[in-house]
Structure 1
Amino acid sequence: MKEIRIEANGKLGPINAAEIPRYAGAATYARLPRLDQVQQADLKIVGVPFDSGVSYRPGARFGANHIRESSRLIRPYNPAVDLSPFEHIQVADAGDMAVNPFNINEAIETVQQNALDLTADGSKLLTLGGDHTIALPLLRAASERAGEPVALLHFDAHLDTWDTYFGAEYTHGTPFRRAVEEGILDTEAISHVGTRGPLYGKKDLEDDRRFGFGIVTSSDVYYQGVTEVVDKLRQRIGNRPLYVSIDIDVLDPAHAPGTGTPEAGGITSRELLEILRGLRGMNLVGADIVEVAPAYDHAEITGVAGSHVAYDLISLFADQARLANETAAGSGA
């Protein structure tokens, strides 16, 4: 079947849904071109089908393709930010990394090296997990590319700064503790957003504060509102290189049942999208969406949420490029 795509500003965009039904054709993210179909890409979407680091329900290894299938309804214009993101940056789907499911240490090394290889040409990554273990190698690569420790916004029901599980240092509950220990995070600009639920003890919070994390709980989002939360996050991060890591369980199970460790009392998909939109103009260097587990996702609710979160992240990258181009044009560069 011949692909009929939308093209604008020299960018090859999604398959034209007015010519080919949304349910037909290859299931790349938003039916965008594959990486081998474009000469270059400003933003690469890559899947990491890995969930060997989970501590409860597995299944996130199927998350990337679930998000892709759910993204067939994505349209090219984002009215929430008045932007057609695929016109400002070339976005392409780079497929999935081949990651060893039986060796976590090897898997982490593979993800890190693949991330470095994919960004060697100056492009950026939006990664679809997989479980949250993969955030550590992705942060290593982002910090190396930035040439300095990066700021972090971590959206999650959980802290993910625990030390070990069953003696294992690398799991989906430990990546940000390891990242702090390795010096790849700017500890003056790291925050959790949407945390809630029971902990193992008060020491969990004490350790987290010692690492430098600020915490915006799901209750804070409810009582303070999106605007105040965004203002606080922007003040904390400033113009530092920013990595955004989103565990889909930051959403209440009503909005994201398809995940491995659900917790009651989460934020809504609307609140998450509005917080992301409030990050426009920030120095975004990479992002991931993890812990989508389709086996528990009745009616594709979680997949749809994940696909729209990815779309708003893409819009952030595109708006960043648009602002940079306008600044360059204004300076005559």
Structure 2
Amino acid sequence: MLNKNIETFIGCDNEYGESGLVIFGAPFDSTTSFRPGTRFASKTMRSESFGIETYSPYQDKDLEDIAVFDGGDLELSFGNTEKALTQIEQFTAKVLEDDKIPCMIGGEHLVTLGAIRAVAKKHPDLHVIQFDAHADLREDYLGETLSHATVIHRVWDILGDDRIFQFGIRSGDRSEFQWGQDHVFTNKFNFNGLEDVIAKLQGKPVYLTIDLDVLDPSVFPGTGTPEAGGVSFMELLQAMLQVSELNIVGCDINELSPIYDQSGVSTAVACKVLRELLLAVN
């Protein structure tokens, strides 16, 4: 008998009702400031995910043993950034309403704003942990306040001071770092200080956003704005496992641009990061 062909991320073919985690793609890169292409990340990751296993030897866990629903890609409005963010917010709100954890695959980093708008409404005491090469704290970029270069400043507009914790940051305008000193916690270059932040955030709702360019370009060249001096895969994995001890109420990975790595290695890395993230926060 012929069956409907529905492609999901490996091991994430459970029914919505039985799943505690919901992954979905946000294929949007309309504000990308350098090299576009992140809109193709989620679709590429689904097809390439079958090159990895459902089992994680790092955590001794298997995607076959947990229930994850793949909601596919959202049909986002190109040319209307605010509408696209609203569409992301509405989908995320539905997932939260059903007491599930949303895990979004970007897309450029601005898509995080749409998800956090929804999560912050359900969890007013929300805190954000950001792994990233870039501060993303500009007030505007070329006159636009909605950009992947301004996303964390827009998140701050919602959450306020002392609720955002950045790690791995190694790029940004001088004014971003100066402004950030008074409003967010920023650890440059690596994950030093993460244990102290985790101790501080015990019992609080936390959203984890992972810009994959936190990884060194030697590990992850397939991104729109690569920055030398990044962390290794194992360093990122260890940091993710540490953060998973917290009350994670939402998460995302973003900024894979598969067309800039024809070897496919960057996509394979992104798939492995997603697998480990799903297993860790479950």
Q: Give the TM-score taking structure 1 as reference length.
A: 0.79
Q: Which residue does 1:171 correspond to in 2?
A: 147
CA change 1:133–1:280 in 2 (3 A) is closer
Superposed displacement of residue 156, structure 1: 0.7
Q: 1:169-220: CA deviations, max 9, x gaps?
A: 101011111111123x6x43421111113x332x221211222x222222x4
CA change 1:151–1:2 in 2 (3 A) is farther
2:34 matches 1:59: no
Q: Which residue does 1:95 correspond to in 2?
A: 72
- In 2, distance between residues paired with 1:93 and 1:291? 19
CA change 1:166–1:80 in 2 (3 A) is same
2:122 matches 1:139: no
- In 2, distance between residues paired with 1:76 and 1:2? 25
| Unaligned 5+ runs, structure 2 | none
- In 1, distance between residues paired with 2:52 and 2:59? 15
Superposed displacement of residue 153, structure 1: 1.0
- In 1, distance between residues paired with 2:244 and 2:87? 31
Letter in 1 for 2:177: L
Superposed displacement of residue 82, structure 1: 2.7
1:205 to 177, 182, 185: 177
Q: Which residue does 1:195 correspond to in 2?
A: 169
Superposed displacement of residue 251, structure 1: 0.7
1:275 to 229, 233, 239: 239
2:259 matches 1:307: no
Aligned length: 281
Superposed displacement of residue 83, structure 1: 2.5
Q: Which structure ranks higher in relative contact order (CA pairs < 8 Å, sequence separation ≥ 6)?
A: 2
User: Counterpart of 1:252 in 2: which secondary structure?
Assistant: coil
User: Counterpart of 2:209 in 1: which secondary structure?
Assistant: strand
Where does structure 1 differ by over 6 angstroms across 4 or more consecutive aligned residues? none
Q: 1:297-329: CA deviations, max 9, x gaps?
A: 1311111111111111111222xxxxxxxxxxx
1:45 to 20, 23, 26: 23
2:228 matches 1:264: yes
Q: 1:34-70: CA deviations, max 9, x gaps?
A: 6xx4543211110011100211110000011122223
Choose between structure 1 and 2: higher helix proportion: 1
Identity among equivalent positions (%) equals 29
- In 2, distance between residues paired with 1:26 and 1:254? 34
User: Counterpart of 2:148 in 1: which secondary structure?
Assistant: coil
- In 2, distance between residues paired with 1:247 and 1:210? 23
| Unaligned 5+ runs, structure 1 | 4-24, 319-333
User: Counterpart of 1:52 in 2: which secondary structure?
Assistant: coil
Superposed displacement of residue 74, structure 1: 3.4
In the alignment, is the contact (CA less than 8 A) between 1:192 and 1:216 conserved in 2? yes
Q: Which residue does 2:13 correspond to in 1?
A: 33
User: Counterpart of 1:41 in 2: which secondary structure?
Assistant: coil
Superposed displacement of residue 240, structure 1: 1.1
- In 1, distance between residues paired with 2:47 and 2:233? 19
User: Counterpart of 1:305 in 2: which secondary structure?
Assistant: helix
Letter in 2 for 1:70: E
1:115 to 88, 92, 97: 92
Q: Which residue does 2:252 correspond to in 1?
A: 288
In the alignment, is the contact (CA less than 8 A) between 2:162 and 2:185 conserved in 1? no
2:106 to 129, 132, 135: 129
- In 2, distance between residues paired with 1:53 and 1:314? 28
In the alignment, is the contact (CA less than 8 A) between 1:59 and 1:293 conserved in 2? yes
- In 2, distance between residues paired with 1:189 and 1:315? 25
CA change 1:31–1:84 in 2 (3 A) is closer
Q: Which residue does 1:214 correspond to in 2?
A: 185
Q: Give the TM-score taking structure 2 as reference length.
A: 0.92
